[in-house]
Structure 1
């Protein structure tokens, strides 16, 4: 489970472990005992957050104007937007 420093509390960590996951939360600066933390995993979390931020630029996904099932195919729109972002990342620059 990846989370921000805000969620660095003993009871939050215990709850995550009770549910069978391993918490990867950066410790706050005022903690005496610093639990294990993987910076590599935390960087991957940042990539995911930036991806969803880019998805929000597509207005139809962010605001969901088409609320009827016939008009709004959520997964198709997300897939199309994802492909567009992926293609934009790999298109050659002149």
Structure 2
């Protein structure tokens, strides 16, 4: 299953914003149209199989790796990666602590 099929389920829950940065898995015409209807500019590189490539902001897309790196750092914490906490508020607190430590160590 490709990513954009799962995106249909969460499209209504997207918070308001100006731009959505996503990878090639979310490149579909219906998803781009749905984002534009919600006044969100899609920054999604086209798949290699597209006959006519769609333009996107390459400089903005390059910033996406910072978010990916932060998730990778959070998963270094065993408690977060395995989700030991039963309560959502305790799990969120562990994420906040791990993010704070990762921020101050770098």
Shorter-chain TM-score tier: 0.7 to 0.9
Structure 1: 5+ residue runs without aligned partners?
Answer: 90-94
Query: How many correspondences in the alignment?
Result: 87
Task: Find the counterpart in structure 1 of residue 56 from structure 2.
Answer: 37
Structure 2: runs of 5 or more not aligned: 1-19
SS at match of 1:23: strand
Residues 1:73 and 2:90 are matched in the alignment: yes
Q: 1:54 to 1:33 in 2, by over 3 A?
A: same
Query: Residue 68 and residue 33 in structure 1: after superposition, are their counterparts in 2 closer, same or farther (change >3 A)?
Result: closer
Q: Which structure has more strand as a fraction of its residues?
A: 2
Moved over 4 A (4+): none
Task: Say which one has the larger Rg.
Answer: 1
* Superposed CA RMSD: 1.9
- What's the TM-score once normalised by structure 2's chain length? 0.69
For residues 30-82 of structure 1, what are the alpha-carbon distances to aligned partners after superposition, in whole Å with 9 as ceiling and x for unaligned? 3233222111221221110111111011111122212146xx62332122111
